[in-house]
């Protein structure tokens, strides 16, 4: 009896060890999309009045959890019964991510005024709530696409493992992708509040301590908008790299076509080309099907 329990415990420990090992592999494979998710989350949760940033972020986080709960069982069913659909889904996701990256570049070059945080200038409460709901919906939809990509990439990296290990490893990545990403976003969007608190606290002290608190606080206040801009650039590059990388790693013809150049440069250029083509088709469709004035 005792030996049977020990065998079971040993099997459970071995399973957890395998899940931990495969989780590390899956997380490494999804780091590019996780970086993009972080940048997008920071952009979506910023630009609001300080009192609304965390409620908006919490609403997006709950939506992200629901997204994962919807996607995970579907992904496991695909892996078990229709694994041939995983690569086409990956490629569609790669097109979308490349499109998003190209669109961000297009908006920056030709419609830079759209990047202004409109919520900062809205004073009407109804209009503010409407804008807030719109941003939350948009963020959750984007998170859904990114979540599909994260989960499918993680699943493809452990596809040769037993289904139990797949479920454990991919579920771990999904949890990290939500709690880790949006936890970091929460810390970032409150940087300025922490800075204001330090500046306010410096008034209760004097000498070196007061100067240190004041300087640290002002640094945090000034760093937030710069950090958001940096994350926007990193997120755009990540989308293009991940989008192009999906094609490079899943289509042998494409891989051989760019093997003469550095892999990162090849993935970036391919993502940009795919994104430009997708963006051109979307803009053309909008022009053709938009109602005539």
pLDDT digits (tens, 9 = 90+) for 6-28: 444 444 444 445 555 655 555 56
Mean pLDDT of the chain: 78
pLDDT at 70 over 90: yes
Q: CB of 147 within 8 A of CB of 71?
A: yes
Compute the distance between CA of residue 33 and CA of residue 246 in angstroms, rounded to an integer. Answer: 11
Compute the distance between CA of residue 77 and CA of residue 163 in angstroms, rounded to an integer. Answer: 10
Kindly list the domain boundaries of the chain, sorted by start residue: 19-289
Taking only Cα atoms into account, the Rg of the chain, rounded to an integer number of angstroms, comes to 22
CA angle 149-242-164, nearest 5°? 40
- Lowest-confidence range among 59-68, 111-120, 174-183, 279-288? 111-120
Provide the whole-model pTM: 0.72
pLDDT at 243 over 80: yes
Confidence of residue 270 (pLDDT cuts 50, 70, 90): very high
Give the model confidence (pLDDT) of 161-183 as tens digits.
777 878 888 888 888 888 888 88
Q: Average of pLDDT values for 88-98? A: 86
pLDDT of residue 266: 92
pLDDT of residue 274: 96
Tokens standing for 151? 């989960």
- Comparing 78 with 284, the larger pLDDT belongs to 284
33-47, 120-134, 199-213, 270-284 — which one is most confidently predicted on average? 270-284
- Comparing 278 with 9, the larger pLDDT belongs to 278
Q: CB of 181 within 8 A of CB of 38?
A: yes
Q: CB of 190 within 8 A of CB of 54?
A: yes
Nearest CA among 146, 145, 152, 170 for reference residue 85: 152
Compute the distance between CA of residue 108 and CA of residue 112 in angstroms, rounded to an integer. Answer: 5
Determine what percent of the chain is predicted with pLDDT higher than 70.
76
- Comparing 218 with 225, the larger pLDDT belongs to 218
pLDDT at 224 over 50: yes
Q: CB of 246 within 8 A of CB of 271?
A: no
Compute the distance between CA of residue 219 and CA of residue 107 in angstroms, rounded to an integer. Answer: 29
Compute the distance between CA of residue 100 and CA of residue 235 in angstroms, rounded to an integer. Answer: 10
pLDDT of residue 118: 47
């Amino acid at each position: 009896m005792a030996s049977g329990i020990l065998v079971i415990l040993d099997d459970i420990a071995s399973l957890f060890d395998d899940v931990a090992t495969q989780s590390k592999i899956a997380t490494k494979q999804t780091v590019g999309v996780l970086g993009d998710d972080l940048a997008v989350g920071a952009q979506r949760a910023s630009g609001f009045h300080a009192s609304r940033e965390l409620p908006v972020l919490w609403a997006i986080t709950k939506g992200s959890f629901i997204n994962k709960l919807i996607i995970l069982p579907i992904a496991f069913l695909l892996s078990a019964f229709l694994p041939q659909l995983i690569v086409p889904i990956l490629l569609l996701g790669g097109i979308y991510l490349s499109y998003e990256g190209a669109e961000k570049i297009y908006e920056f070059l030709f419609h830079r005024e759209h990047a202004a945080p409109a919520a900062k200038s809205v004073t009407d409460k109804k209009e503010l709530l409407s804008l807030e709901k719109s941003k939350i919906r948009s963020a959750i939809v984007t998170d859904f696409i990114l979540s599909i990509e994260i989960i499918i990439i993680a699943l493809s990296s452990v596809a040769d493992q037993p289904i139990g290990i797949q479920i454990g490893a991919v579920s771990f990545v999904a949890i990290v992708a939500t709690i880790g990403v949006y936890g970091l976003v929460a810390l970032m969007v409150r940087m300025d509040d922490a800075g204001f608190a330090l500046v306010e606290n410096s008034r209760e002290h004097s000498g070196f301590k007061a100067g240190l608190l004041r300087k640290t606080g002002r640094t945090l206040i000034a760093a937030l908008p710069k950090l958001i801009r940096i994350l926007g650039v990193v997120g755009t590059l990540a989308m293009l790299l991940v989008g192009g990388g999906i094609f490079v790693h899943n289509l042998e013809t494409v891989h051989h076509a760019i093997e003469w150049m550095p892999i990162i440069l090849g993935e970036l250029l391919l993502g940009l080309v795919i994104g430009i083509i997708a963006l051109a088709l979307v803009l053309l469709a909008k022009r053709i099907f938009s109602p005539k004035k």
